[in-house]
Chain A
């Protein structure tokens, strides 16, 4: 079974600065998808960014980018120019590309605080 590990329970960053959230995963599969979800205090789960394992290029969405290291099984999220609205719980998630159920396996989350 796949596992996802987020080793930083909490992180903090100053507004306008850059922060990197870490995620590692364990899998024997070669094809899969990785996701970062954001959960603000409203509790709504919001997809931030996704990465297909077969793509070498790191995904980018505006101020959010990932550093995907397939051999190291590492998938970190970089938030540039941090804003107060980025304060949230962030979850890393894994999904197999094979199979027929599209299940997600989540890490335990990293709580990000943004200081003004």
Chain B
């Protein structure tokens, strides 16, 4: 049982490049989330999904897109990376039937130069 995994763990992009971050969970959770963590800012919600085929905006959605084509996967896309998107990105999942905890992945450190 791997829990929540994220691919890749590290990435360096040039301004204007695109990339996709993959989050996968093997706990059959309905809800999945993407957060970004910046120094002194805590974790802020980017987008989330309450089920396969659904997505919704969080607190800081601009510059990102997401897709939830399969229940176990939640993809975060950057179409044209900007230096302001340099951050650590966390994926999390939870399920109403599992109680209250959100389970987090190990994070992806992204640097945009």
A-to-B contact residues, CB < 8 Å: 4, 6, 9, 33, 35, 42-45, 47, 50, 91, 95, 100-109
B-to-A contact residues, CB < 8 Å: 31, 33, 35, 40-45, 48, 50, 56, 58, 88, 90, 92, 94, 96, 100-102, 104, 106-107
A50 to chain B, nearest CB (A): 6
A105 to B33, CA, bound (A): 12
A51 to B31, CA, bound (A): 21
Q: A43-B107, A101-B31, A101-B48 are in contact. Are A106 and B43 (CB under 8 A)?
A: yes
A52 to chain B, nearest CB (A): 8
B21 to chain A, nearest CB (A): 15
B100 to chain A, nearest CB (A): 6
Evaluate contact between B96 and A102: CB separation under 8 angstroms.
yes
Residues in A whose Cβ lies below 8 Å from that of B102: 47, 102, 104
Evaluate contact between B44 and A45: CB separation under 8 angstroms.
no
Interface of A is mostly: loop
Residues in A whose Cβ lies below 8 Å from that of B45: 103-105
Residues in A whose Cβ lies below 8 Å from that of B58: 103
B57 to chain A, nearest CB (A): 11
A116 to B92, CA, bound (A): 34
A96 to chain B, nearest CB (A): 12
What are 19 A-B interface contacts by the 8 Å CB criterion? A33-B100, A44-B104, A45-B43, A45-B90, A45-B92, A47-B102, A100-B50, A101-B48, A101-B50, A101-B56, A102-B96, A103-B33, A103-B48, A104-B43, A104-B92, A104-B102, A105-B45, A107-B42, A108-B41
